[in-house]
Amino acid sequence: MTDDLGASVPIDRPVRRVVSLVPSLTEAVAVSRPEVLVAATDWCTHPADLDLERVRGTKNPNVRRIIELAPDLVLCNQEENRRIDVERLRDAGIPVWVTSIETLADGFASLRRLFTEALDGSVPAWLIEAEIAWAAPSPASPRNVVIPIWRNPWMVVGHNTFTGDLAARLGLRLVHADRAERYPHVSEDELTRDVELVLLPDEPYVFTRSDGPDAFPGLPVALVEGRSLTWYGPSLATARDTLTREIAAAFIA
């Protein structure tokens, strides 16, 4: 079998032991195949009652401990995890499945392959619900939006990103999508130029009512759940309705 990057992944059946180094994928497996999940990162916060061994972070996993756990499969993502950690695990004989997700369509296809090919199971019900929820057309008149993900310095969502594609399906146009970087740094003057709406997620930077909206006087600001905006997993089944309500509330406030 080959993963999303075309790398050959030798998987012994049945898969009984999985280590996930991606929070979105951890939640997806924990909800759908909880019996196989043996370890995850410190950043894997969903489901809320997740009780697993932790193997440090997405960028600094405890490779030695992962090897000791002898997993049948380790789950990684091209953007969230480092190539060197993937190579170290593979060099140790550990099968690693790497996902590559830059659009909502990528996410749906990748998750289907993960569950039906890598894990040799069925498509989860929540994934079917998510595909139905996002099948409706986008609003005809898009609003210009900025989606900061960090402050001091300001960093925003740009082109070729999962979050940007999801925003487009909500009828939002990223004002900084013409930058070369996928997550460009912008000055305070550039931050609000041509902006009609601001989305402030609670991750990776934790924007709150007292930290974030103050930088956008006179503009509608929606404080949104970062998981709904950036995660590709069970949250996708409800994310469209959740984000639509939060955006509508910003124009009423």
Q: Kindly report, residue by residue over 104-145, the tens digit of the pLDDT.
A: 999 999 999 999 999 999 999 999 999 999 998 888 789 999
Over residues 178-186, the mean pLDDT reads: 94
Which residue in the block uniquely carries the two structure tokens 């951890």? Answer: 26
In a domain, 113, yes or no: yes
pLDDT in tens, 189-225: 999 999 999 999 999 999 999 999 999 999 999 999 9
What does the alpha-carbon distance between residue 180 and residue 182 come to, in Å, rounded to a whole number? 7
What lies within 8 Å, CB to CB, of 223 at 6+ separation is 200, 202, 207, 208, 209, 212, 213, 246
Looking at residue 187, its pLDDT comes to 94
Considering the domain architecture, whether residues 162 and 245 belong to the same structural domain is answered as yes
**Residues 185-217 as b or e (16 or more Cβ within 10 Å = b):** ebeeebbbeebebbbbbbbebebeeeebbebbe
Contact indicator for 76, 21 with CB cutoff of 8 Å: yes
- Domain end (from 73, 88, 123): 123
Q: Which domain holds residue 157?
A: 143-252
pLDDT in tens, 137-175: 888 789 999 999 999 999 999 999 999 999 999 999 999
Looking at residue 140, its pLDDT comes to 79
Read off the DSSP letter of residue 14: S
Considering the domain architecture, whether residues 119 and 147 belong to the same structural domain is answered as no
Q: What is the pTM of this model?
A: 0.93
- Report the domain count for the chain: 2
- Tokens for 199, please give them: 């989305």
Check which CATH number belongs to the domain holding 199 and give it: 3.40.50.1980
Does the pLDDT at position 253 exceed 80? no
What does the alpha-carbon distance between residue 158 and residue 179 come to, in Å, rounded to a whole number? 7
- Tokens for 174, please give them: 């990223």
Considering the domain architecture, whether residues 92 and 155 belong to the same structural domain is answered as no
